[in-house]
Amino acid sequence: METKAALPITLLAGKNTLPIIQVYFEFNHLKQLYRQGWLQHGIDPKYCESVAEHSFGVALLALFLVDIYSLELDKTKIMQMALIHDLGEVYAGDLTPSDKVDKQAKYHLERQSLIQILDKLPNCSYWIDLWEEYERGNSHESQFVREIDKLEMLLQASVYEHQGLANLSEFFTSTNQAFPTPQIQALFQVLEGLRNHGDFISQPNNLNQDLSLLPCQTICNDCAFHVKAESRIECIHPDELAVNCAIVTFCSSFQPAEEIDSPCVTFGNDE
């Protein structure tokens, strides 16, 4: 399990302190723990989010979306659930399908981790019950947070793709049926639309990638609005914001969905 640093709680070995300080040193590990799935799909550790950053994103998304869509849900429970839903990963780690740990074993590892952290606090049973409610997904609030958990993952994947760090199609394919709430499914479709309309290029920094997999674009060589940069041609025309010019190849096979009136980029057999 790749992390930025060892468990901070080990720094308190042999020291007497308050339970809440111990708990903080434990859940602080979520700031050190990378989201392993991103690393496994080629995201460099210096760009990789932590589990704590993911939980923060889930909480904010849930907070805003409940209001935006006027959903009749217990907002306090949703916030609490979003903030603790990954707390069990402090000791269990961020297990992914590649770890080949079955669902039941993963549940027990994370529950044991949760108890190890929270049994020092008053009202421990409330937080464990809340986490178990999330895991079961048997309430409207838990179902909503589980959807937001996946949505936040896809939004982060979209950020990484737009940054040109990886092609994360697998995450979109594996979750395309995971949003029963119509409003959340609509958000998913918008994210898919951003990808399908060429608003990102997967791995543009990899100069050895197969350019035949990219949408073909033809650029006039004498155009004043292009520059050559390390085997790439980059469009710098101010009107090309909606056209994917991060990498330009030369071909006549691409048929655009709509005509583009541009002094810089032409498609197919356009003159």
**pLDDT tens-digit series, residues 45-102:** 999 999 999 999 999 999 999 999 999 999 999 999 999 999 999 999 999 999 999 9
Give the position of tokens 């409003």.
183
C-beta of residue 141 within 8 angstroms of C-beta of residue 83: no
Residue pLDDT, tens place only, 24-41? 999 999 999 999 999 999
- Domain boundaries, given as residue ranges, for the chain: 8-196, 204-271
> Residue 40 has what pLDDT?
96
Which of the 8 DSSP states describes residue 241? T
Confidence of residue 109 (pLDDT cuts 50, 70, 90): very high
pLDDT mean across residues, the chain: 81
> Residue 176 has what pLDDT?
86
Confidence of residue 209 (pLDDT cuts 50, 70, 90): very low
Q: How many CB atoms lie within 10 A of CB 40?
A: 13
CA-to-CA distance for 165 and 145, rounded, in angstroms?
27
DSSP track, 151-217: HHHHHHHHHHHHTTS---HHHHHHTTT---SHHHHHHHHHHHHHHHTT---SSTT-TTS-GGGSPP-
Which pair of tokens denotes residue 189? 């479709």
> Residue 142 has what pLDDT?
97
> Residue 197 has what pLDDT?
61
CA-to-CA distance for 85 and 33, rounded, in angstroms?
15
Residue pLDDT, tens place only, 120-158? 999 999 999 999 999 999 999 999 999 999 999 999 999
Quick one: average pLDDT of 174-182? 91
Quick one: average pLDDT of 165-169? 95
Residue 225 has pLDDT above 80, yes or no: no
Residue 238 has pLDDT above 60, yes or no: no
Q: Kindly report the CATH class assigned to 8-196.
A: mainly alpha
List alpha helices for the chain, DSSP H: 19-27, 29-32, 36-40, 51-68, 75-84, 89-92, 103-118, 124-136, 140-162, 169-174, 182-196
Confidence of residue 196 (pLDDT cuts 50, 70, 90): confident
> Residue 198 has what pLDDT?
53
Question: Is beta strand 265-266 parallel, antiparallel or unpaired with respect to 226-229?
Answer: unpaired
